[in-house]
Amino acid sequence: MDAMNKTTSDKLKYVIFLVFLLSLFIPFLQKQFDLIKEKPLNGFFDVATFPEFKKETWKTGMFQQNFEKAINENLGFHDWFVKLQCQINYSLYNISKFQTVIIGKNGYLYDKGYIDGYTGRDFIGKERIELQIEKARVVKNELKKKNIEVLFAFAPGKASYFPEFIPDKLNEFSSKDSNNYQCYINALKKTDLNFIDLRNYFISLKDKTKFPIYSQIGVHWGQYACYLAIDTIAKKIEQIKNIRLTNFGINKIKLGDTLIRTDKDEGSLLNVFSELPFYKMAYLNLTYSSDSNSVKPNLLAISDSYFSNIVATNIVDSVFSGWSYWNYNNGESSDKNDKVFRLKKEIEKRDVVLLLATDASLAAFPFGFIDQAYELYSPKNKAYYILKQKEYKLFILETMKNINTNKVWKKQLIDNAKQKGISQTDEFINAAIWCYNEKERILKEKINN
């Protein structure tokens, strides 16, 4: 009896050992032969490549570290195991594996950038914003001479629209006035620049709208919100250009049982197996009407990704005769025959330049366009050089602060100072001046094409 039990026990040990060995080899077999089709992870991921062997990196341990990372990320079922970890984090701990995805209260999802924009963690400072507005006033006046209007628009953000669902530990700010949105609005109100505060408009409608503005698991505004936004923008363009655009309206609204991609974009980035909770979003069928008095102006929209949702409604195609959307001011020629992109030529084709951003991108707004247009159109008079000197001083001060908070950069500059036999402060200033000159070089290169 004892011998039989021992034999059974030995067989069980062998089975367990074989299963263990097989489990080690299955990922390699999957990678080699692609036995089971895997769905890739949602989002943008750079898979590590195997490093080249070098004595220097071997001695420092960097080779081993990079080699281990490459093995892990190139194994079969890697994406499946990542999703399993994501599911465990979500189901058991209500957290996301990816730092940019924030799980709020009641299943509401946020991108961290929107929370930072709302709370002011990404505040660039009143001085820099007011400098942009000073430049914008000059640009506006010079372009108006060419019958081109400039229009600023501030879209709502998921965090500013739904602050009540932000996790308590992230919903903290020192002052509601110390954020990019409020500083832009305060500065614009003191000028004659054209602007629309869509963020405030949507918040004022929050308890009145019949249909959702944002989905529970997305961070971009929905179709109904896009309709309200472009309708407001169109009316403003009619006012400042003294024209009448093609009329458009809602023919039919359907509440979808499933969500389109942009209404579940943040949920997709969670990379979990389970279905996330969501409420129905409104999807629109639109009608258009025009007559002999209707005008279709040419529009240049410089915006973050929020404008792409407006484009998807097809309203832009129907209301404007020609239009271009430069995502984060990445300009493209609107004429396919132009082999070289020419900024001045592109601007002067337009009737309206729309500059739009939401909370998450206001730290970079207006994405370099006003700087470029200012260099192109500002008269090179005394006011121009005074403002450029002001910009130079502000840039140097900000760069010096950045150096002191960047440990790697700071150490490198301190080492450089020792080698040159100069003070750390002098080397910091030299680095800041170099950065400014490089910024100006790139700017001039952009506008001189």
What are the boundaries of each domain within the chain?
A: 2-98, 105-378, 384-447
pLDDT tens per residue across span 146-168:
999 999 999 999 999 999 999 99
CA 251 to chain centre: 32
**Token representation of residue 379:** 């008269």
Q: Which residue has the higher pLDDT, 408 or 57?
A: 408
Q: Diameter of the chain by CA atoms?
A: 105
Quick check: helix, strand or coil at residue 406? coil
Least confident of 97-106, 130-139, 173-182, 319-328: 173-182
Q: In the prediction, which pLDDT does 47 show?
A: 57
Per residue in 54-102, pLDDT (tens digit) is: 777 776 777 677 656 655 655 656 677 788 888 998 999 888 988 889 9
Q: Following CA atoms 104, 106, 108, 114 in sequence, which dihedral angle do they give, to the nearest 10 degrees?
A: -40
pLDDT at 261: 87
Strand partners, 324: 300
> pTM for the full model?
0.87
Structural contact between residues 128 and 184, judged by C-beta atoms closer than 8 angstroms: no
Two tokens, residue 138 = 């000059």
Handedness of CA 425, 427, 430, 435 (dihedral sign): negative
Are 262 and 314 in contact by the 8 Å Cβ rule? The answer is no
Q: How far apart are CA 341 and CA 159, in angstroms?
A: 37
Quote the pLDDT of residue 54: 77
Which residues does residue 252 pair with via DSSP β-bridges, in sequence order? 285
Supply the pLDDT for residue 17: 66
381 pLDDT band, cuts 50/70/90, is: very high
